[in-house]
């Protein structure tokens, strides 16, 4: 059991190091501005999608809270 935990820790450290190296490579490359713009666009789209889903959920909650009498 302890070997399994050690393996997970080592794997997590290696994955973190790989991500760090990749980020460092891209930030020092000529494509830094393109990468940052892509990240900003993705974050903005995620924020807009999240707000839209929140409004849909809020609407559904209100409909369940105050059902209309159509019957």
Domain boundaries, the chain: 1-29, 31-71
CA distance 22 to 46: 23
Q: What is the pLDDT of residue 42?
A: 92
pLDDT band at 61 (very low <50, low <70, confident <90, very high): confident
Residue 68 has pLDDT above 90, yes or no: no
Residue 71 has pLDDT above 60, yes or no: no
The number of beta carbons lying within 10 Å of the beta carbon of residue 47 is 10
Enumerate the H helices of 1-71 as residue ranges: 2-27, 32-65
How does pLDDT run across 1-59, given as a tens digit for each residue?
566 778 889 999 999 999 999 888 877 877 778 878 888 999 999 999 999 999 998 98
Q: From 38, 35, 15, select the one nearest 27 (Cα to Cα).
A: 35
């Amino acid at each position: 059991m302890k070997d399994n935990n050690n393996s997970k820790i080592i794997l997590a450290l290696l994955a973190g190091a790989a991500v760090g190296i990749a980020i460092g490579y891209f930030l020092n490359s000529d494509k830094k501005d393109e990468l940052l713009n892509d990240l900003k666009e993705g974050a903005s789209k995620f924020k807009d999608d999240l707000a839209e889903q929140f409004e849909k959920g809020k609407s559904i909650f209100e409909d369940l809270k105050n059902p209309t009498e159509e019957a």
